[in-house]
C-alpha cells in the first residue's frame, strides 16, 4: 500500500538540497544556504548527513584565498531521490508524471 519513505530524504532541508543539486549539478555552500533559507549550522549538519550516506559529494577547495565548499549529487543520491519520489507517490493518490 504505502511504500516506506527514506528518512534521510524525508526532511525538508535535505530534500531541498537534493532538489537543488539535481537541477544545478554543482553548488557552493553559500548558494545552497541562500536558496534554501537555512542557517549555516543546520545546513552544515544536513550536508554532512547526505555526504555520509553517499548521496552527495563534498569537495573542499579554495576560491582565491577563501574556502569554498562545493557540493554535487552522486549517482547513488540521484537514485535515492528517484526512489523517494516514487514512494511518495503512493501517499499522494497521484498518477506517475508522464510529461517529458
Q: Are 17 and 53 in contact (CB under 8 A)?
A: no
Quote the least distance from Cβ 100 to DNA, whole Å: 30
Closest CB to DNA among 52 and 79?
A: 52
> Judging by beta carbons within 10 Å of its beta carbon (0-12, 13-18, 19+), is residue 5 exposed, middle or buried?
middle
Residue 58 and residue 73 in contact, taking contact as beta carbons nearer than 8 Å: no
Q: Which of residues 4-23 bind its own copies (CB under 8 A)?
A: 4-5, 10, 12, 15-16, 19, 22-23
Binding site for its own copies (CB under 8 A): 1-2, 4-5, 10, 12, 15-16, 19, 22-23, 35-37, 85, 88, 91-95, 97, 99
Amino acid at each position: 500500500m504505502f511504500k516506506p519513505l527514506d528518512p534521510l530524504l524525508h526532511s525538508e532541508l535535505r530534500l531541498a538540497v537534493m532538489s537543488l543539486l539535481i537541477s544545478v549539478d554543482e553548488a557552493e555552500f553559500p548558494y545552497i544556504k541562500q536558496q534554501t533559507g537555512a542557517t549555516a549550522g543546520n545546513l552544515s549538519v544536513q550536508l554532512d548527513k547526505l555526504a555520509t550516506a553517499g548521496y552527495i559529494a563534498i569537495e573542499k577547495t579554495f576560491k582565491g584565498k577563501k574556502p569554498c565548499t562545493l557540493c554535487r549529487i552522486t549517482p547513488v543520491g540521484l537514485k535515492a531521490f528517484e526512489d523517494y519520489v516514487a514512494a511518495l507517490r503512493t501517499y499522494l493518490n497521484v498518477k506517475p508524471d508522464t510529461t517529458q
